Amino acid sequence: MSNDARGRRDHKTIDRIFGIPLVQIAGIYRRTSSVLRQKKNKANSPDDAPRVGVIGAGAIGDIILATGMLAEVANLIQRASVDLWLSPSNRAIAPLIDKSITIRCLDISAPWQALADLRTQEYDILIDLLQWPRVTSLLAALSRSDCRVGFATPLQHREAGYDVTVPHLNSRHEIDNFRSLLTPFGEAQGMPARLFVPPESRRKIAHCGLSGAVVIHPWAAGTNPVLREWRPERWAIVAEAALGYGRRVVLTGSRADQARTETLRARLPAAVESAAGILSLQETAALCEHSGAVVSVNTGIMHLAAVLGAPTVGLHGPTNPKRWGPVGPRAVAVVPSGVDYGYLNLGFEYPKSPPDSMGGIAADSVIDAMERLMAGTLARPRIPALSRPTEVVVQ
């Protein structure tokens, strides 16, 4: 689902109204086809390498957090080849993914075409990374797969599309939820998320003299993104502090963010630069990787910077850092003071009158975290492997 689609209420409504009964019906087909395929595949050579498909048509941040789990597939499923199905909206992450993984495109906003595309491949195992959409459960059920694995997410009614389910829990970080999808195949070792920045992107950032810059990413995506964004006057205070260290300060964003980035830049110190819509995602990755620090709201760029080992300050208002915080060797989450925060689980559970959680984050707190990260006196350890057993349900 595209970044825009993730935030559209009509898409969620259609997915829920039509998706729930369709998944139940598709579940009948899934149970029948699984039995027939297992009988057919008994004749296959035991030397055939297992094929694993992964549906990753969600947010870019989710794909980044799932890269450790993708790397672990090879450890738990010997000789497995892996196909990762990305969507048109998150396919920009593909150049940063391990080259041993085959990238394919799955546009779930066009379900019938997506089904036709998915059925061009046969899989021994199909894993669905998405947490709540019924459409990917439906696609999994109708796929040409021997074993379909997905989340049993409370109140989402999508389990019937899978042969095996694991619980999606709001009591653990999402990186652990992704790791849990491998539980049916063995014990996950907790491999860290990992990305691979192309050398040519690194060279471009070095050529532009941007190594060591402080990167500010002010834009969120998904449902009600403005509620996860920070006030311009506070960005101005942070930018002023960074410039005071003798650092270049660079705003990042997508091509769609260019206009509002320029509007924001006009309210910041004159020396602040904008790379919104200018740098590709892999070039932005190189910029973050070699930055002095990255300060970002909770979004994909925050996860990207943290995984690449950049000193990363993540601003969390509605999002709970215990669920969605930055994961990396030099990453920290800053939370509000004096106001409710951290109430989002799947990303859309806003109350009717949401509090101004981001307004509770003081500029001084962000500057303090940034300074200590840059000085090497503040670090957050990597999220550990699963700390408790995961219940696996065979449908």
What's the rounded mean pLDDT across residues 17-29? Answer: 80
Residue 385 in this model has a pLDDT that exceeds 70: no
Average pLDDT across the chain, whole number: 90
Evaluate whether 3-196 and 199-375 have a shared fold. Answer: yes
- Residue 144 DSSP symbol: E
109-117 contacts, C-beta under 8 A, 24 or more apart: 109/1, 109/2, 109/5, 109/11, 111/135, 111/138, 111/139, 114/139, 115/139, 115/142, 115/143
pLDDT of residue 227: 97
Q: What is the pLDDT of residues 115-164, one digit of tens each?
A: 999 999 999 999 999 999 999 999 999 999 999 999 999 999 999 999 99
> What confidence tier does 270 reach under pLDDT thresholds 50, 70, 90?
very high
9/139: higher pLDDT: 139
Q: What is the pLDDT of residues 177-217, one digit of tens each?
A: 999 999 999 987 889 999 999 999 999 999 999 999 999 99
> What confidence tier does 386 reach under pLDDT thresholds 50, 70, 90?
very low
Q: What is the pLDDT of residues 220-241, one digit of tens each?
A: 999 999 999 999 999 999 999 9
Picking from 231-240, 342-351, 370-379, which range would have the lowest pLDDT averaged per residue? 370-379
Instruction: Quote the tokens at residue 355.
Output: 């509090």
Residue 104 in this model has a pLDDT that exceeds 90: yes
How deeply is 193 buried, as exposed, middle or buried, from its count of CB atoms within 10 A (0-12, 13-18, 19+)? buried
What's the rounded mean pLDDT across residues 26-48? Answer: 63
Closest CA to 1 of 158, 110, 115, 142: 110
Query: Taking CA 162 as the corner, what is the angle to CA 191 and CA 2, rounded to the nearest 5 degrees?
Result: 70
Closest CA to 238 of 229, 227, 249: 249
pLDDT of residue 31: 76
What's the rounded mean pLDDT across residues 104-125? Answer: 96
What is the CATH number that goes with domain 199-375? 3.40.50.2000
C-alpha 51/C-alpha 82 separation (Å) is 6
Region at 325 (left for phi over 0; alpha for psi -120 to 50; beta for the rest):
beta
36/79: higher pLDDT: 79
What's the rounded mean pLDDT across residues 248-277? Answer: 97
36/2: higher pLDDT: 36
* Alpha-carbon Rg for the chain in angstroms: 21
* pTM of the predicted structure, to 2 decimals: 0.91
Q: 3-196 domain in CATH 3.40.50.2000?
A: yes
> What confidence tier does 18 reach under pLDDT thresholds 50, 70, 90?
confident
What's the rounded mean pLDDT across residues 360-377? Answer: 94
Please name the amino acid found at residue 346.
L
| Domain positions in the chain | 3-196, 199-375
